[in-house]
Amino acid sequence: MRVFVRTKTALVTGLVTITATILSAAPPSATSHAAATTPHGAAGRSGEPWLARLLAGSTSGGDAWRHLRVLDRIAAENGGVRATGTPGFEASARYAAKVLTDAGYRVHQQQVPYTDYRVDAESATVTAPAARQVRALVMRFSPVTPPGGLDAQLVVPRATTDATAGCSAADYDGLPVSGSIVLVQRGSCGYTAQQRVAAGLGARAMLIYLSTPSPNNIYRLHAFNPQAFTIPVASVTQAQAEQLAQESAQQQVRMRLDLRGHEVAGVTANLFAETRGGDDRTVMAGAHLDSVTEAPGINDNAAAAAALMATALRLAPHQDKVRHKVRFALWGAEELIDVGSNYYVSNLSPAERAKIALYLNFELIAAPNGVRFVLDGDASEQPPGTPPGPAGSQVVEKVFKDYFDRAGLPYESHDLRAVGSDHEPFVAAGIPVGGLNGGVLGVKTAAQAARFGGVAGQLYDPCYHQPCDTIGNLDRRALDENVPAIAWAVGRFALDVSDLPAAGAQE
């Protein structure tokens, strides 16, 4: 998941039967366990939602936890990451394929070509007044420094507020920007615009940081429009940036940057598991399986992937009884900007697209300081002018809200376009969407802490895109509460999509 607004063009492929070798790790049993502990809702239009109650009552956070232990171990055994193009992702996909195949699903994979940015060098050194190393992460698809790097004075822009620093050329009035390395906080205008301003004034490179309550975190940025970047860009931590800015205000600071990388092409996979039964009206539920290259990705997003695997196992004995086909999707290359889901949606024929009744997406569902965000299908709780989701998205939203109301669990509505994830290509295709997320780089308010627990003034997930996003980062209570909700929604729509637009109406 990302919080930076962006778009990405998808490519073309087809579905092929999975042939990969699968891990020997045994999945948890698909046998239903104890009676329901979740609320029994009203009947749907086509009858009693027996499958929703069964799945919500038999699918637990503990079921997901068994898969999470495996995915956490896979990350630990593969350099601490499960990113696209790494052995950690391949092992994660093999494990998920085995779990779903052994449960009796029709399991397929879709080969997905992608382009990534391989880092060759990312070093930053203060050379004066006293030498020291600074940790830096080069931006994906950034221009590169010359061989051997560049050495220049550090310049920090002036601004009336930190949120606008570097957004205007006037912020640099009187400063020796030409030939310099500029240091800025990510501003309200966006780092693409900040880079454009600095480059236009003759800066040779830019360092950028995000201001958060976790000042030692560092986040690798992404050049969503590489053609707009003309100078090398890298990120540093807030703590390092503030120290550099303070020193620069007192004396001249010089730095040497070596920021280099190159594009690489590869092929990853989307993994699909479909019920044997069900008509052509297809209910899709998905989560991305990959991590970023800097983290194990257990909250982001193994927790959601594990929740879907747990739901699929509980549904498996009943897959011949569903009215509508259920298709579980574990996406590849989401962290490269929704590459897998874009690829899938863009290659659906009009007829195939029309068969998808809705898409459910799940992200960061066990954030350690999270809030339960329900995607706001009709934008009724967003600022005026916020576009709603495709017709029918309000129905999906209501299913989740009704569930949480009956369960007595708090939630908040969330603009479905505010956080980048795999629902976006479905929105663009006019397919109804909905889902849950636990928050990303947002800071928990006092009101949210009172409603959801946790600590006000801290990030929803301090380990988002950090090495500490391990199984120890998860909130078990959030997992226990959210997994049955996911199962409820899958079961409800597997039996009844009569209140969604008719097939073909999304076009």
By annotation, the residues acting in catalysis are 334
DSSP 386-447: PPP-STTHHHHHHHHHHHHHHHT---EEEETTSSBSTTHHHHHTT--EEEEE--SS-B--HH
Separation in Å, CA 270 to CA 16, 59, 89, 404, 495: 10, 24, 11, 30, 25
SS3 261: strand
Beta bridge partners of 434: 360
Q: Taking Cα atoms as reference points, which of 51, 48, 49 lies closest to residue 59?
A: 51
- Per-residue tokens: 205: 């490179």
Give the span between the Cα atoms of 301 and 331, in whole angstroms. 10
Q: Are 303 and 472 in contact (CB under 8 A)?
A: no
Peptide bond before 129: cis, by omega within 30 degrees of 0? yes
Contact criterion met (CB below 8 Å) for 289 and 301? yes
- Residues 270, 110 contacting (CB under 8 angstroms): yes
Question: How many CB atoms neighbour CB 171 within 10 A?
Answer: 23
User: Do the bridges between strand 433-437 and strand 373-376 make them parallel or antiparallel, or are there none, so unpaired?
Assistant: antiparallel
Tell me how long the chain is: 507
Residue 106's H or E segment, with its range, is: strand 106-128
CA–CA distance, 297 with 67 (Å, rounded to integer): 13
